[in-house]
Homo-oligomer: A and B are copies of this chain.
Amino acid sequence: MENLANHVTIRKFRDKPVNDELLRDILENGIRASNTGNMQWYSIVVTTDKDLLNQMAPLHFNQRPAVTAPVILTFCADINRFYKWCVLNKAIPGYDNFLSFFNAATDALLAAQNICIAAENHGLGICYLGTCVYNAAELITLLKLPQRVVPVTSVALGWPDETPDLTDRLPFEAIIHRNTYRDYEDMDIKILYKEKESLASSLQFALENGKESLAQVFTDVRYKKQDNEYFSEKFLSTLKTQGFLS
């Protein structure tokens, strides 16, 4: 319980491997996660080979966790295995569609979070790499993923070489809605984001980027419309190539 409340993302790892036994123990916890119809529509590629990690780092834009972690876990929506099992058993699979992809992605993401919590319980650090979906196509090539397999998130894993403070979160009332959704008036938004906006790190962030507001750092620098649109098309095209969208 304590670990959930104290989660911090680790972006710098010690040059020390995660031993196989510990890694297996952690991964086994992941496999117990809830999943759709107990079909387990996901796979996890555990990359520890230095050459491969070096090839993978640029696909994650050479972010520090991707460069320093001894292990990268690539969580994949995977219907390939189940599909083959169906065909071998004279069952006609009907999973070449978006719903099945989304169910498989959900399975992969719940397992990912289980594994991150298990890892943190052992003193390891984790960093999710959202770049996984930006460069899903290139990861498919590098990791030799077949049809009906799509990477949906990656996690850099290792022994922490930093002790960051807890990061801010929006107030409870920003995220939680009672019974039905209560939409936000302008005043609500101002109140809910006030603390975030006034953090020294936020003010610094805006200043460094020459922006008037923290929000502009997100829209103009970090998560830009043109990038989002480009990577949307790219990811949709990957879903199509891998057999999940007609």
Q: Which residues of A contact B (CB under 8 A)?
A: 1, 4-7, 9, 24, 27-29, 31-34, 36-40, 42-49, 52, 76, 80-82, 84-86, 88-95, 97-100, 102-103, 105-106, 109-110, 112-114, 116-118, 121, 126, 128, 130, 133-134, 142-146, 149, 152-153, 166-170, 172, 174-181, 183-184, 186, 189-190, 192-193, 212-216, 218-220, 222-229, 231-232, 235-236
> Quick check: A31 and B169 within 8 Å, CB to CB?
yes
Taken together as a complex, chains A and B put the C-alpha atoms of A152 and B103 apart, in Å, by: 10
> Quick check: A168 and B38 within 8 Å, CB to CB?
yes
Taken together as a complex, chains A and B put the C-alpha atoms of A180 and B45 apart, in Å, by: 6
Residue of B nearest to A178 (CB): B46
Chain B residue numbers with a CB within 8 Å of A118 are 1, 4
Residue of B nearest to A213 (CB): B89
> Quick check: B114 and A117 within 8 Å, CB to CB?
yes
Given A48-B178, A80-B184, A99-B232, 10 more contacts at CB 8 Å? A5-B32, A7-B34, A27-B176, A37-B223, A47-B180, A84-B186, A88-B186, A89-B213, A103-B130, A142-B180
Chain B residue numbers with a CB within 8 Å of A214 are 89
